[in-house]
Amino acid sequence: MKDVKKVLFVFAYIWVLIPYPILSGCRENTDLLTGKCFYIDAIGGNDDNEGLSSGAAFKTLQRINGVELNAGDKILLKAGQVHSGELKLEGVKGIQDLPIVIGSYGEGNSPVIDAKGCPEAILLENCSFIEVSDIAITANGKGDDFDPSQGGDMRCGVKVIVTKEGNYSHIILSRLEIKDVFFEKEGFIRSADEVTTANGTQKYGYGIRILNKTDKGLITDVNITDCCIENVSHTGIKFTSYRKTVPKQGVRDVEISGNKILFTGGPGIQMSGVAECHVNNNIVDHSGSNDDTRKWGRGSGLWTWGSENILIEHNRFTNANGPGDSAGAHIDFNCRNVIIQYNFSADNAGGFCEILGNNFNCSYRYNISVNDGYREKGADGAFQEGKIFWLSGYCGKSSERKGPFNTYFYNNTIYVKNEIVAKIAVDKASSGILIANNIFYIIGESKLVKGDQYKPEEDGGTSIPNVVFRNNLYLKKDNWPSEVIIQDEAPVIGDPGFKVPGGMNIDDYIPGSAGLIKNKGIEIEKIPGDNIGLKTGLKVKYDISGNEIEGLPDIGAIEL
């Protein structure tokens, strides 16, 4: 009898461990503990069904738009199918442990939402605790029945928008494939002047847009992870806040990681009015692409405006294109504590370091730049020079130039091939600059250029207060032009002996000349007059490759 009981106990134990039939984390029909599952089958479904099982699925996305959703509910699109139209969630809220999930079920490739002619494929308006994953999205232009009066001003793969005051939290977007998002039909040709406007004035397509259109509302806890965004007519991932009430940053606590953002007509990633953001391990390639006449044709890999406490690290920014801006990553005006570190930046037309006016305590450190800033003003419509180093006081067309203030630029490795003229601009409105422990490996010519933003700086000499500029390694004495308003007090001249000069990998810039590099850096301290430094500290534990920094830092981005 004991043996029988033992067998029954083991059987019961195993039975507990066997999961119920689950599709994307959801049982068939309903579950009182985790919410309902709504299934959408574009081929075998019917909108007259209840939608609560895969055998009685809805047919269209529009059908789910009229369903009342509660915490823990799931919307599941059948894999291997194309679902036309848009999925709209308005005023829908999950809770901490029971978010509302949008995902897929069944076998095959990710389900595709084709939102051609719709304002967006997925709309989350005034929503909280929403998680979206494993969906493919396309929205290639206007539909044949396009009504101009109903067209809106943009087309988005995913649009998250707040139009009512309140706190909206926990928007998770993961493993989305967003491709071919355009407002206009194929064959549309933009005017040549459109690319010279600050952000474009016409109608475009965006990959993911996060908008806070309220004065007092907040969006918090936004996570965009492991998505691929490719071939959109403007920005890949764009944040915009219209908030004016303190804190002015209306989007906070953001994570952008592990994404691939390719061939965007505008910037890869752009944020305005964002705070407490971590951007890491993303690949951004060919921002500002003009390979389609519907694209804007200008954009940095990443840029910030009116934002604070932003950490940008371990990203790869390559091949940014455009007649203006279009750096690997740049810091536009009115920012505070933006740190760009451990990134690989290469072949970006606009350049490497670009920090505009009224920015406080921002930094580029431990990055590698390869052949950035090759653009020449006047060539192919370019209205700005490309630059490897640019500090600008520009704060807008109607504003007085000021700053940037307390800029920290240290332990970067900069390589420029012979065919490129390395250009440098330092605005006399700057105040507080530290440039130390960098390698400037410039094979060809270097020259001073004007900071040619929309409102160019004026000629004339002056002195910049609170400058710490010393202990940088130059391939040649004239790598830093003598005409620049600030000069290195203790330059080091020599060849760092890179492993593969001009290579496209971090390890290609391991120095071979240990005598010039090893423990030859200086300790980085606060700029005179600066009581803040950098929020994460001036001293770092590791270099761009993850090597621990022991003793004095080396010169450049890689520790020997």
Q: What is the pLDDT of residue 463?
A: 87
Provide, rounded to the nearest whole percent, the portion of the chain with pLDDT above 90. Answer: 88
Binned at pLDDT 50, 70 and 90, residue 398 comes out as confident
Q: What is the pLDDT of residue 270?
A: 98
Q: What is the pLDDT of residue 72?
A: 97
pLDDT at 337 over 60: yes
Q: What is the pLDDT of residues 31-58, one digit of tens each?
A: 546 799 999 999 999 999 999 999 999 9
Averaged pLDDT, 507-522:
97
Handedness of CA 118, 120, 126, 127 (dihedral sign): positive
In the DSSP assignment, the letter for residue 511 is: B
pLDDT at 146 over 80: no
Averaged pLDDT, 345-371:
98
Q: What is the pLDDT of residue 23?
A: 42
Q: Which amino acid is at 147?
A: D
SS3 string, 325-390, reads CCECEEECCCCEEEEEECCEEECCCCEEEEECCCCECCEEECCEEECCCCCCCCHHHCCCCCEEEE
Binned at pLDDT 50, 70 and 90, residue 150 comes out as low
pLDDT at 370 over 90: yes
Residue 56: helix, strand or coil by DSSP? helix
CB atoms within 10 A of CB 135: 27
Binned at pLDDT 50, 70 and 90, residue 451 comes out as confident
How far is 13 from 456, CA to CA, in rounded Å? 75
What is the model's pTM? 0.93
Q: What is the pLDDT of residue 3?
A: 46
Averaged pLDDT, 210-237:
98
Averaged pLDDT, 64-72:
92
Averaged pLDDT, 250-264:
98
pLDDT at 357 over 90: yes
